Structure 1
Amino acid sequence: MTPSTRQLCLLLLLLGLVPAVAASVSRSFTLTEDELLAQDALVTLVSGPLRGHDLLLVTDDHSQHLLDVGKVVAAAGASRTPVLLVTQHLLLHTAPPTRHTQGSLLTTILLFHSDPTAFLLLLTDNKHWNPSYLVLFCLDPHLNTSTILSQPVIQRSRFILLLQPDAKASQPHLLAYTPRPTDIRHSLKKTTLGVWVSDKFHSREALFPPRFHDFGGQVLEVTVLCYDEPFTYFDGKGGCMGGNPDALQIIGDKLNFHPQNILMDEIVWGVKKNGTWRGMFGEIMYKRKDLLINSQNINHDSFSDFDWTYPYWENGFGIILEVPPPLPQWRNILYPFSLVTWVMVFGTMLVISSALAFLLRSLHNIKDPIGTTLKVAAVLLGQTMDDRKMRMWWARVWLMSWWLVVEILAVVYTGNLVSVLTIPVYPSRIQTVPELAQSHYIPCMADYGSFVPEALKSSNNPTLATLGDKLFLDTNLNPFDPYGFLLSKVHAGTHALIVSLDYLIFTQHKKKVTRSAYIMDEKLYKGYLSWFLRRNTPYTTILSNHLTRLVETGILAKIYENHKGSLIGKESQVRGAGVLNLGQLQGAFIVLALGLVAASLTLMLERLV
């Protein structure tokens, strides 16, 4: 069959015309006993345990001349099993829809007679090649399939079945195998499932037994930095503890493996520069560590180069600034009311007092309307008024209403004044990223290998780009106090520190600055945290499922809550004494002094007149 004919068959298969394709590729075959056994097994597979599942059948050139592939396709069509037939060459040089190359509903059958290692190495770069269920059907009984099973692109699959003729048997039969790990990092064991018998392998569950339900007590090397509270932190004995090690230990007890924390020598989180990974990601990629459990956000680079679990925690980057100094204490007497409230209070006082005086003069011809106005207004300042001269019933009702208003205002003012005198009043705080970009504050970070500095500098958002241009990176990290220098800049009122939010909250409490520094409401680069593994790790999905189970049951949140409680405590910064000092009473004495001056001037004017 020529390449053009094969491409036409692929097109027809994509259109669902399986019977027509089967007829076009079928031709007369003379099969040996081994080949006939393999073909019957393949037909039984697609029409039996894989019936109704999406199938991708990948063949090499040699296998197409040994088996009647058209008969296999026809059997799939007869059992209403959707199948896509493609050669190795065509798969490498075309881009089938991802639903035909990955997913839990897809089973891929790789049919080969020659060693497919070269094809598998080329397939490694195909990011979409990730079949959950993979059948390796080897037609050569003498081919060393152990090396094929060890290929990383094969080990991506969660479930793997190998079928191969038994070279040592006197009677032709197929043997079924599945690879299981004998060492997580180095070797696999080709475990025999027995002789192929259709009754024994009657369902997809029987074809694909779990490969990683038990790790056999193997050691899992975990690269970790113990500067990531509450996820990881030092235990005081030179080791590392935290919420994530606890969660991994629970999973290890379930799957029978032992996590071994390998502490990093340098504080480098993980960043890709000039195509090379540094930090913890570099430990996984180049030094063959098994797992990274620190708080790492999923971004484009890590998504492309590593395996990752389902997200287990939402996080972002918080920004902490120094709380601005309180407003002058002598103005405390004005703070209980806003400017608008003060204007309305004095406006109401003038309207009520002057209107009453005007009506009294117009209706009853009182002799001193100005004095009446001042007496009515003085009630607001706590002055008494002799109401016996107000003999008109409507004037008494007017005064009673005004006195009730004054009483309410006095109670509200006094209550607010107490709170103002005991709790300092601060100017408005910066709470958004645009406000920070327009302020005099210099954003700063520790240079620990985060993606944030480069993301800010290369951002198309003008606000983020402004932060990137102003960003200060501290390259001299002190392992015992990574943020001591930058926090001193924050306390000086010149810098704004950017740190992962959960760690920033911990740092705020650890440094006892919960009252002298605050975290902005708006966060940078909100995202999700995942654990990361080497690309093509076969047990990524297993770890991911167990980690997700801890999230869904609330166990992981409880673990973090316990660690936060032991690290932070209920309160990390002591309140003030709560007593009034002389500075807080300045406003009242200033008003008293102004009143005495006004009274003295009034007395002098009366004497002169």
Structure 2
Amino acid sequence: MTSRDDVVLLAEEHPLLGSALRQLHAATRSLQLAAPVGRLRWAPTMPPAKTCVLWLHEATWRRIHSTRPARLLRRWGNRCRRMLVVESAKDIERSVSRKLLRFDQAETVSVVMISKDLRSAQVFAHTIDCVDRTLLGTSLVANATARTPGDVAVVPERRTSGCRGGCGRGPTWFVEGRDELRGHTLRVATTAAVDTIYARFVTENGVRRTVGVEVNMLKMVSKALGFKYELTEPTDLHGLFGQEENGTWTGVIGMILNGSADMAIGDISVTLARSRVIDVTYPFHQEPVSFMLRRPPLLPRWVAIAAPFDATTWGVLAAALTIATLLFAAVPALSGGPAAIGGWTRLTNAGFVVWASITGQDQVPDPRHALGRCVALLWVVFSVIIGVYYQTMLVSKLSVPVYGRPVNSLEDLALSPFQVKSASGTAATVYLESFRGADTLFARLPEKMTLFPIEDLTSSTAPLDDRAAYVNELGHLQHALKDRKDRHLYYISRARFFQTGLAWPVRKGACFARRLNTSVMRLLQSGIVELWLSVARIRDRPEPAAPRALTVGDMAAALLVLTVGGAAATLVFVLELVLNQRSRRAQKEAWSRVSRRLTRAQPPWGQRAVREGTENGGDSAGPAPTAPPPERERY
């Protein structure tokens, strides 16, 4: 203890207490004396101290032994960086100070043992290696003696090794615990068996090794902190990422809890249940959650002719065509037609002009006035825009398969007939369960949710339920579709409704987690983690489908229009022939009746000529009557 230390002394009556108070008061910056009350609680008015001295009677220590030493640690160990225990002389293996040690915190605990005659004392320090969880007792003062009882003075020697910070500036009462990773070997459990971009197996030249984004991070961190690592994996892939079953944890979380691993990597999300049993490092990525389901059935190809516009647009376009036709028919000056024609004819001509302009034909209005030209120009521009847009959208609808309305939000999923499947033990499952019993539409989601093992999703051969939506992290869903042969039958929704943090789980209270946090944050600040993720996603992206030629099925809409148009034209042509034939027969019959009437009303041609000659006084034997003119062909 030095002049920079704040010391709290928890002491009971002892003959050497007065001498100790004088020494501590002279050697430290501040000293506060606390009497043990009740269960040795930390008084609310007491500030956190750098060093705590516990000087209790043997009966009090026995009472602590009979209960739980961890209770004292919870009340004092979290407030004191270092603890000095004063007790009667005994074997160091039986010292109460060993009960106050916590390997995971790399605490510094020393013990002063005073003989019963108060003539000698010994000082021991416990050297803790929290990484390997080992303990080594170090003697700082072998034997300090006094001539008279109660006059013993314990002054440890100066040390130049095995300490940090205070070496060389004063007596060394403590040996700092070791929480450095340099020179150690960590056992790291992986989830590479599910084959994600964060950790997966690859085989090169017959040798299998683990690669991925988190493996790259682990290499950089181990190089910076100077430790080695050994990668291992659970023997049972059930619950690989860690889930609680009947009070027992499976997967990599179970390996950390049973001591077979120090930490784990491989796309492990942070959940509340996992945080209760293990600690996690600083999250290095926020992965969104979405869901994957089967595509809606393909729309028939003949529907492509109406697919470029929705129902509302078609209605507005029909109204525009009707209004334009009536306007062109009501105002002949807009189309340039004669004003003397009938109303039905003007309406027919206007409809032809409007339809020809909207379909890109050569028939365009020819107005006579400037105002009519402006109105006609606006209609032509409108027709060109609508025509180009329709043709472009029609080509795209014919070139790309057109599906029904997708499910692209949680609201759509709640209202849809699809079941919900979520991986057990994941953050997405916990999020969906939070809606159970809520007075919202989302309360339907947990009611129709079932759990499934994550291995079924990551396997490229496992069958998928066509009536279910699979909820998981976006990276898992993208990787699940990458290697499936039927990936064209499924799609990932555009919904991004939750962000789950990815981090490295370590054993509860691991002292080296602080150093891992520092290294992970430095990697994030450098931007190299995002670079690795971007490169991995590009490599994991499925190859785009090659362009293909249009088939007869793709041209079903065009062929349908052509067939319907040809049939309509043929029908009109046949009707026209029939009507024309009837019209010609009726005209011929009408001319025949007129001819017969004229024939009855007039004499024959020869008699009429003689009569005309007699009446005119001419010779009755005049010129021979000529033949009547040929009858005109009637149509």
Q: TM-score, normalised by structure 1?
A: 0.73
Larger Rg, first or second structure (1 or 2): 2
Q: Are residues 1:118 and 2:65 paired?
A: yes
Indicate the SS of the match to 1:541: helix
Moved more, 119-128 or 136-145: 119-128
**Secondary structure of 2:407 counterpart:** coil
Q: What amino acid is the match of 1:248?
A: L
Residue of structure 2 equivalent to 1:330? 302
Q: Does 1:537 align with 2:513?
A: no
1:282 aligns with 2:254: yes
462, 477, 483: which one aligns with 2:459 = 483
Residue 17 of structure 1 corresponds to none
Q: Counterpart of 2:127?
A: 179
Report the identity percentage: 18
Tell me the CA shift for residue 68 of structure 1. 8.0
Q: In structure 1, the residue corresponding to 2:287 is in which secondary structure? A: strand
Q: Say whether residues 1:253 and 2:219 are aligned partners.
A: no
1:404 to 369, 372, 381: 381
Residue 468 of structure 2 corresponds to 495
Q: CA deviation at 1:356?
A: 2.2
Q: Does 1:231 align with 2:198?
A: yes
Question: Which residue number in structure 1 is paired with residue 322 of structure 2?
Answer: 350
Partner of 2:103: 155
1:182-238: CA deviation from partner (whole Å, max 9, x where unpaired): x834413456887369985769x99886833353x2321222332351222223335
- Are the structure 2 counterparts of residues 149 and 575 from structure 1 closer, same or farther at C-alpha, using a change threshold of 3 Å? farther
Q: Contact 1:173–1:195 (CA<8 Å) still a contact in 2?
A: no
Q: Give 1:59's aligned residue.
A: 10
The separation in 2 between residues aligned to 1:128 and 1:428, in whole angstroms, is 61
Deviation at 1:550, TM superposition (A): 2.0
The verdict on how the C-alpha distance between 1:329 and 1:131 changes in structure 2, with shifts beyond 3 A counting, is same
Q: Can you list the C-alpha shifts for 1:335-367, whole angstroms capped at 9, x where unaligned? A: 222322222223222212211221239994443
SS at match of 1:227: helix
Are residue 425 (structure 1) and residue 405 (structure 2) matched? no
- Structure 1 residue 580, shift from structure 2 partner: 1.6
Q: Does 1:298 align with 2:254?
A: no
What is the distance in 1 between the residues matched to 2:490 and 2:287? 20
Query: Using a 3 Å threshold, how does the CA distance of structure 1 residues 450 and 337 change in structure 2: closer, same or farther?
Result: closer
Q: How does 1:58-137 map to 2 (within 5 A)?
A: 59=10, 61=12, 66=17, 85=34, 87=36, 89-91=38-40, 107=50, 109-112=52-55, 118=65, 121-123=68-70, 131=78, 134-137=81-84
SS in 2 for 1:489: coil
Q: 1:586 offset after TM fit, Å?
A: 2.0
Q: Tell me which residue corresponds to 2:152.
A: none
1:503–1:391 CA distance, 2 compared to 1 (3 A): closer
SS of 2:547 mapped into structure 1: coil
Backbone CA RMSD of aligned residues: 4.5
Within the alignment, does 1:359 sit opposite 2:331 as a pair? yes
Please state whether the residue corresponding to 1:354 is helix, strand or coil: helix
Report the CA distance shift for 1:464/1:272 in structure 2 as closer, same or farther (over 3 A).
Answer: farther
For the pair 1:378 / 2:355, whether they are aligned, the reply is yes
How far apart are 1:265 and its partner, in Å? 0.6
Q: Does structure 2 conserve the Cα–Cα contact (< 8 Å) formed by 1:361 and 1:369? A: no
User: Within the alignment, does 1:308 sit opposite 2:256 as a pair?
Assistant: no
What does residue 557 of structure 2 align with?
587
Residues 213 and 285 of structure 1, relative CA distance in 2, 3 Å threshold: closer
How much has 1:546 moved relative to structure 2? Answer: 1.9
Distance between the aligned counterparts of 1:295 and 1:152, measured in 2? 37
Bigger shift: residues 63-72 or 423-432 = 63-72
State the TM-score, normalized to the length of structure 2. 0.70
8 A contact 1:174–1:195 mirrored in 2: no
1:439-588 superposed matches below 5 A: 439-445=416-422, 450=426, 456=432, 459-461=436-438, 466-474=444-452, 483-484=459-460, 486=462, 488-490=463-465, 493-511=466-484, 515-523=488-496, 526-565=499-538, 568=540, 571-588=541-558
Deviation at 1:264, TM superposition (A): 0.8
1:318 correspondence with 2:260: no
Give the whole-Å Cα distance in 1 for the aligned partners of 2:393 and 2:43: 70
Equivalence for 1:24: none
Query: What corresponds to 1:242 in structure 2?
Result: 212
C-alpha distance after superposition, 1:541-585 (max 9, x if no partner): 22222222222222333344454455x2xx524415332222222
Counterpart-to-counterpart distance in 2, 1:83 and 1:423: 80
- Contact 1:130 1:156 survives alignment (8 Å): no
Structure 1 position 474, deviation (Å)? 4.5
Match of 1:437 in 2: 414
Query: Take 2:214 and 2:76, find their aligned partners in 1: how far apart are those partners?
Result: 30
Amino acid at match of 2:380: W
1:63 is displaced (CA, Å) by 7.1
CA-CA distance at 1:513 after TM superposition: 6.0
Question: Structure 1's 66 and 277: CA in aligned 2 closer, same or farther, altered over 3 A?
Answer: farther
Is the Cα–Cα contact under 8 Å of residues 329 and 586 in structure 1 kept in the other structure? yes
Corresponding residue SS for 1:518: strand
Question: Which of 188, 193, 204 in structure 1 is aligned with 2:135?
Answer: 188
AA in 2 matched with 1:552: Q
* Offset, 1:259: 1.0
Tell me if the contact between 2:461 and 2:484 (Cα under 8 Å) persists in the aligned partners.
no
Deviations 1:281-340 (A, max 9, x none): 222222443222233333333222223222222235432112223322112222222322
- Distance, in Å, in 2 between the alignment partners of 1:200 and 1:386 is 99
Alpha-carbon distance between aligned partners in 1 of 2:333 and 2:426, rounded to the nearest angstrom: 79
Q: Which amino acid aligns with 1:155?
A: F
CA distance in 2, matches of 1:372, 1:100: 98
Per the TM alignment, residue 75 of structure 1 is displaced from its structure 2 partner at its CA by: 8.8
- For 1:595 and 1:338, how far apart are their aligned partners in 2? 23
| Count of aligned pairs | 538
Unmatched 5+ residue regions in structure 1? 1-40
Equivalent position SS for 2:265: strand
Change (3 A) 1:410 1:541: same
| One-letter amino acid of the counterpart of residue 483, structure 1 | S
Which residue number in structure 2 is paired with residue 49 of structure 1? 4
Cα distance in 2 between the residues matched to 1:519 and 1:333 = 27
Letter of the 1:403 counterpart: V
What's the CA shift for 1:440?
2.1
Q: Quote the offset at 1:266 in angstroms.
A: 0.6
| Aligned residue type for 2:416 | S
What residue identity is the alignment partner of 1:406? S
Deviation of residue 514 (structure 1)? 5.9
Separation in structure 1 between the aligned mates of residue 461 and residue 484 of structure 2, nearest angstrom: 12
CA distance, structure 1, for counterparts of residue 386 and residue 168 of structure 2: 86
Distance between the aligned counterparts of 1:375 and 1:549, measured in 2? Answer: 73
Retained in 1: the 8 A contact 2:290–2:472?
A: yes
1:219 aligns with 2:185: yes
